[in-house]
Each structure stands twice: as structure tokens, then as C-alpha cells.
């Protein structure tokens, strides 16, 4: 159920002996379990379709605990959304754009995005749901609006270097490039089921994903590399 328990729960549990004090359960751990389950629930059912009671049961907690730790359904959803964003942000930081060949760096960036969106079972669905809700919750968040800052910075650096080196000849904006990458990496996940019923195959199959990833890298690269006059 948990999308990334190791990264979130691990620090809490690290120093804890397996046997806890009987009367007092581990508060932080309970909170984290609720959050993990909530993230999965909201991703799977959307906001309206998610059930507080199901989250409580899934986290081996009870409804009261959710209200104790998170206030209400809206705020729990906000917390889940932020937690989900944090995962991708942390992932992006692992890239080292600066010291690579721009073309290789671009490839690495696209592949990371493609892999993350294709692999994380919750992120795309949460984003879709949030957009269906017209960004109501993301706007309330103190952290989400800035989430892609680092990625964009990397992209800008990368673009500038490529253009200076005449590898990328076009004056493409980082924003435009980012949106193209996102669109090409997002669609087969977001539209997995409607595409599936159109083309009659599974858009999450590993083989298909591997082939598609190469195509996406190619499409993105072709869109900015300098070409002899055409």
C-alpha cells in the first residue's frame, strides 16, 4: 500500500527497538502509516471517492486518529499531495546535470522523468485528480508551487550550455521544453486505460515502456538539436 515506506518511515523506525511501550503506541509511526495509506487511497479513488474509514482500516488505525493527526479530509489530502511531490523532488536531485555532455544530460533527464512517472503508482493519478479539482489544494500548499524549481533550474543550465556549444541551436524556452517532456512522459500513464481500449494492449507493459522511452528521448532530442538547414 505504501508508495515509498522506506524513505519516509525508515528514519522513525531506525532507532526503535522492535518492542514498543505497550500503553503508548508510536505516534509518529501511526501518523506515517496513515499518510502512506491515504496517499494510495487518494491516488486510487480520487478525493470524493476516497473513504476515511478505509484509510483508517488500511493503516491499522481508527478514524479518530486521522482527525487527531490531520484535522480533516481536506488537510489529509493536502498532506498526501505534498508527500507525493516530495518523492519526485528528491528523485530529481539525484541528477547531476552540470558535468555531463548536454545531449547526455538531456537524455538522462527525460529518462528519469519517464521512469518516475511510469513507475510510481500514485503520482500521476494524484496530479490528475488535483487538476480535476482545479488545483484547489495545490494552491493552498506552501511547498507544492515551488516543487519543480530545481528541475527547471537544471533544465535552464542544460539548455544554456547546449546552446553555447551549438549543440542546441534553437532558442527554445525551458518552460516549453519542460512541458513537451512532461506531455510525452505523462500521456501513456494518465491515459493508460482509454489508450488501452483504443489500441488493445497494456500501456504499462515493460517491453512497451522500454521502446517508448527511446522514442520519447528521440522526439525530445530532435526538437532542440541543431540541424543543418532544412
Partner DNA sequence: GATGAATGAGAGTTCATTCAT
Partner DNA sequence: CATGAATGAACTCTCATTCAT
List of residues contacting its own copies (CB under 8 A)? 45-49, 125, 127-132, 134-135, 138-139, 144-145, 147-148, 172, 175-176, 179-180, 182-188, 190-199, 212, 215-216, 218-219, 222-223, 225, 227-228, 230
Strand partners, 225: 168
Running DSSP on this structure, what letter comes out for residue 171? -
Distances (CA, A) of 113 to 15, 91, 119, 136: 34, 9, 10, 25
Q: Is 63 in the site for DNA (CB under 7 A)?
A: yes
Q: Is 50 in the site for DNA (CB under 7 A)?
A: yes
Answer positive or negative: Cα dihedral of 154, 216, 90, 149. Answer: positive
Q: Is 194 in the site for DNA (CB under 7 A)?
A: no
For the chain, give the number of residues. Answer: 230
Instruction: Decide: residue 100, CB within 10 A, 0-12 exposed, 13-18 middle, 19+ buried.
Output: middle
Answer positive or negative: Cα dihedral of 94, 96, 97, 102. Answer: negative
The residues near 206 (Cβ < 8 Å, ≥ 6 apart) are none
Instruction: Decide: residue 17, CB within 10 A, 0-12 exposed, 13-18 middle, 19+ buried.
Output: exposed
110 touches, from DNA, its own copies, none (C-beta below 5 to 8 Å by class) = none
Q: Is 140 in the site for DNA (CB under 7 A)?
A: no
Q: How far is the CB of 135 from DNA (least distance, A)?
A: 20
Q: How far is the CB of 12 from its own copies (least distance, A)?
A: 28
Q: Is 51 in the site for DNA (CB under 7 A)?
A: yes
Q: Is 73 in the site for DNA (CB under 7 A)?
A: yes
CB 192 within 8 A of CB 203: yes
Give the x/- contact pattern for DNA in 170-189, rule: CB under 7 A: --------------------
30 three-class SS: helix
Q: How far is the CB of 84 from DNA (least distance, A)?
A: 19
Of 12 and 115, the one with the shorter C-beta distance to DNA is: 12
Q: How far is the CB of 118 from its own copies (least distance, A)?
A: 13
Residue 89 CA to residue 104 CA, distance in Å, equals 21
Of 20 and 149, the one with the shorter C-beta distance to DNA is: 20
Q: Is 53 in the site for DNA (CB under 7 A)?
A: yes
Give the footprint of DNA on this chain (CB under 7 A).
20-21, 24-27, 29-30, 50-53, 61-65, 67-68, 72-74
Amino acid at each position: 500500500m505504501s508508495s515509498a515506506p522506506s524513505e519516509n518511515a525508515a528514519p522513525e523506525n531506525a532507532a526503535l527497538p522492535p518492542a514498543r511501550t505497550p500503553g503508548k503506541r508510536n505516534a509518529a509511526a501511526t501518523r506515517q502509516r496513515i499518510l502512506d495509506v491515504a496517499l494510495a487511497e487518494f491516488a486510487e479513488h480520487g478525493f470524493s471517492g476516497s473513504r476515511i474509514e478505509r484509510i483508517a482500516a488500511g493503516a491499522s488505525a481508527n478514524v479518530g486518529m486521522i482527525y487527531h493527526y490531520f484535522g480533516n479530509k481536506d488537510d489529509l489530502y493536502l498532506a498526501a499531495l505534498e508527500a507525493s511531490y516530495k518523492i519526485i523532488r528528491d528523485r530529481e536531485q539525484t541528477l547531476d546535470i552540470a558535468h555531463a555532455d548536454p545531449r547526455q544530460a538531456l537524455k538522462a533527464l527525460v529518462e528519469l522523468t519517464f521512469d518516475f512517472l511510469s513507475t510510481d503508482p500514485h503520482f500521476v493519478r494524484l496530479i490528475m485528480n488535483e487538476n480535476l479539482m482545479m488545483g484547489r489544494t495545490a494552491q493552498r500548499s506552501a511547498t507544492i508551487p515551488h516543487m519543480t524549481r530545481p528541475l527547471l533550474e537544471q533544465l535552464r543550465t542544460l539548455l544554456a550550455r547546449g546552446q553555447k556549444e551549438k549543440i542546441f541551436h534553437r532558442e527554445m524556452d525551458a518552460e516549453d521544453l519542460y512541458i513537451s517532456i512532461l506531455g510525452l512522459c505523462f500521456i501513456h500513464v494518465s491515459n493508460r486505460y482509454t489508450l488501452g481500449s483504443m489500441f488493445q494492449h497494456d500501456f504499462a507493459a515493460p517491453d512497451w515502456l522500454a521502446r517508448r522511452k527511446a522514442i520519447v528521448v528521440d522526439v525530445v532530442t530532435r526538437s532542440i538539436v541543431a540541424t543543418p538547414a532544412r
